[in-house]
Amino acid sequence: MTWQDFARIATALYNELRKRGFHESDIWTLINLYFTSDAYRNVPEPKPGEEDDA
């Protein structure tokens, strides 16, 4: 994972959680958990030509 991938995923997660009404400290806790649990590794890679929703 490149730093650009990390930044894109973290930004998308942050924006989605803010939109859903989460508080700032909870958002960072969840993002930290997402990456430290390696959950991002279980996300399927987009197929060539697919648009990213973020």
Question: DSSP per residue over 8-35, as a string?
Answer: HHHHHHHHHHHHTT--HHHHHHHHHHHH
Position 1 scores a pLDDT of 74
Place of tokens 């390696």: 38
**Spatial distance between the Cα atoms of 11 and 27, rounded to a whole number of angstroms:** 11
Domain boundaries, the chain: 3-42
**What's the pTM?**
0.64
Could you tell me if 31 and 10 are in contact, meaning their C-beta atoms sit under 8 angstroms apart? yes
Position 42 scores a pLDDT of 67
Could you tell me if 27 and 19 are in contact, meaning their C-beta atoms sit under 8 angstroms apart? no
Per-residue pLDDT of the chain (54 residues; tens, 9 = 90+): 788 988 998 999 999 999 999 999 999 999 889 888 877 776 666 677 666 554
Position 54 scores a pLDDT of 47
Position 43 scores a pLDDT of 64
